[in-house]
Structure 1
Amino acid sequence: MIPFVDLRTQYHSIKQEVDAAILGVLESCQFTLGSEVAAFEQEFAAYCGAAEGIGVNTGTSALHLALLAAGIGAGDEVITVPFTFIATASAIDYTGARPVFVDIDPRTYTMDPNAIEAAITPRTKAIVPVHLYGQAADMDPILEIARRHGLVVIEDACQAHGADYKGRRVGSLGDLGCFSFYPGKNLGAYGEGGMVVTDRPDYARTIRMLRDWGAEKKYHHVLKGYNFRLEGMAGAVLRVKLRHLEAWTEARRAAAARYDALLGAAGIATPAASSVNRHVYHLYVIRTDRRQALQEGLAACGIQTGIHYPTPVHLLPAFAELGHRVGDFPHAERAANEVLSLPMFPELTAAQTAEVAQAVIALDGATQATRREAVTSPA
């Protein structure tokens, strides 16, 4: 079987380092925040090219607290995309604000800057572009629009650790950048975790208080906050894994290049990486209008796949109150019907990528032949 991700193999490759880091936390008994978290905050912020890093318990909490720190609240509107994980919109909703969707670029799956200005109203306070699948959104026009309208830009970089846009790391491009350390991410904890990075010390101070019950110091609660602290064990493990992230990223990019060469030659719709971006391939996503048959065929071959995401947020029952209908964001809807994520992890071998690609090509050809027969068969 070829797994979709292989966290066990990765763990065994760094087992001694990870085990030593975990034992260190057990010895120190700094289980919540503590020195390992503080060191990781500094190291990850520096990796992103940002001045401050604030560790939290999930990527969702990172988005939530970044929005609150930026002053987003009840009655405000925040522009984002519907083709993302629900957490992007949910974090906006948690603040009392309303998510306002704009469609995606059909090639990159990221926010279409040309759609933003028509969505701006007097209530708009922020834009949340999503760096989806490991590729940065087209940030220059997004930032230019935000500056003209006095809007905060909060990057959802939860799938894009180490991705670059025109030579700059995501997370450091807008006012705040939000990351997830869910286990399957390019930089994943052994459990949950998240971080906000920013160059604004006022935002950083507010988020540090909000993650810890609004406390400026112990039992001195300045704000009504939350219990969103990053655990010491997560900080220690993430420090170890951060040292390997660049090598893992290049391994992902090499695997993606192998997929591109094999699948592209056969006419399969492969990811469109912008020439100004460094795509880090959190996911390797192809497109097909025969997705169910292809996914079932790959499963029968022992190849795991995923769908990210089968329903755009504006059509989910959870956000029915927004009143959207099928057809409102056609590029997002079409992508949701066609995307299929193939196995992608740093340890993916050349033999495994070849096996997956060969299976995709064979099954795609078979489904096309079946369709042709169905169309040409006499009634």
Structure 2
Amino acid sequence: MLRAAGVGIGDEVLVPAFGNVEIARAVTLAGAVPAFADIDPVTYALSPAAVADAVTARTAAVVAVHRFGRPADLAGLHAIGQRHQLLVIEHRDGDGEAPHDEIARRRERAAYLDARLRGVETPDRGAGHTYEQYVVRVPGNGRPDRDAFAHAVRAKGVACSVPVKTPVHRLPGLRRCVSLPQTERAADETLALPVHPALTKRDMQKIASACNALGGLLQSAS
């Protein structure tokens, strides 16, 4: 898409550093240079305000990535694109074409955790969220506390994962000296808990119990 739009050598393309290393590499394959803008702490997608601040004379395009099933602020990004005459490319991270019944079951499990988890920051319930991943934030001292929390939850038999271990702008070959405080914080605090459709009510109770035993008072699972 970048090549077809005439984006190439001498151009910069604004991309998120919170995951999606393949997008930054695709930009380099097109002959352009990936440049990083910070994310919105709620959507985990590019922040329109951060994109506006990152635009330079060489910027030719922006790649808007929907993260974890939560839509990016496309209206805001397109407004920036129109203002600066930039191409805005949309990329969906994950199974955006999942069947409606599967999405409905994920939303049901996400709502269950929303109502019962204590001591962690649950995800935003933004319009259109499909919960490809149910990503919480573990409060405290950033990465050490998040990692300790994840270890303890796994020890109780609950599968969880760190969605972004290293931001793209800190990876070899793509390192940039750029300030991305929301990206760094999200990488240090986020943890994905399971909400896939195969989980039973007992499974969901186990997840809530394991998390709440560490982060707060256990609530009734009725």
Instruction: Report if TM-score (shorter chain) is over 0.5.
Output: yes
Higher CA-based Rg: 1
Offset of residue 345 of structure 1: 1.1
Q: Is the 8 A contact 1:106 1:331 kept in 2?
A: yes
Q: Aligned partner of 2:125: which letter? A: A
Distance 1:364 1:116 in 2: 35
* Residue 188 (structure 2) aligned to one of 337, 340, 357: 337
Q: Is the 8 A contact 1:252 1:281 kept in 2?
A: yes
Q: Is the 8 A contact 1:255 1:349 kept in 2?
A: no
Partner residue of 1:126? 61
Q: Aligned partner of 2:108: which letter? A: A
Distance 2:198 2:40 in 1: 30
How many residue pairs match? The answer is 212
Q: Is the 8 A contact 1:81 1:104 kept in 2?
A: yes
* Residue 292 (structure 1) aligned to one of 132, 147, 165: 147
Q: Is the 8 A contact 2:119 2:215 kept in 1?
A: no
Residue pairs, 1:300-379, within 5 angstroms:
300-320=155-175, 323-324=176-177, 328-365=179-216
Give the RMSD, CA atoms, in angstroms. 1.7
Q: Is the 8 A contact 1:132 1:160 kept in 2?
A: no
Q: Aligned partner of 1:308: which letter? A: P
Offset of residue 354 of structure 1: 1.5
Structure 1 unaligned blocks of 5 or more = 1-65, 163-186, 188-244, 367-379
Q: Is the 8 A contact 1:81 1:111 kept in 2?
A: yes
> TM-score, length-normalised on structure 2?
0.89
* Residue 129 (structure 2) aligned to one of 250, 274, 279: 279
CA-to-aligned-CA distance 1:281-332 (integer Å, 9 cap, x gap): 1100111132111111122112111111011111112312xx326xx10110
* Residue 136 (structure 1) aligned to one of 67, 71, 78: 71
Q: Aligned partner of 1:348: which letter? A: L
SS of 2:2's equivalent in the other structure is helix
Partner residue of 1:231? none
Q: Is the 8 A contact 1:88 1:156 kept in 2?
A: no
Offset of residue 365 of structure 1: 4.6
CA-to-aligned-CA distance 1:68-106 (integer Å, 9 cap, x gap): 222221111111211122112111111111111111111
SS of 2:120's equivalent in the other structure is coil
Q: Is the 8 A contact 2:43 2:124 kept in 1?
A: yes
1:346/1:318 CA distance change after superposition, 3 Å: farther
SS of 1:114's equivalent in the other structure is helix
Q: Is the 8 A contact 1:283 1:344 kept in 2?
A: yes
Distance 1:303 1:68 in 2: 44
Q: Which has the higher helix share?
A: 1
Offset of residue 267 of structure 1: 3.7
Q: Is the 8 A contact 2:13 2:60 kept in 1?
A: yes
Q: Is the 8 A contact 2:15 2:37 kept in 1?
A: yes
SS of 1:285's equivalent in the other structure is strand
Q: Is the 8 A contact 2:119 2:216 kept in 1?
A: no
Partner residue of 1:95? 30
Q: Percent identity?
A: 40
Partner residue of 1:7? none
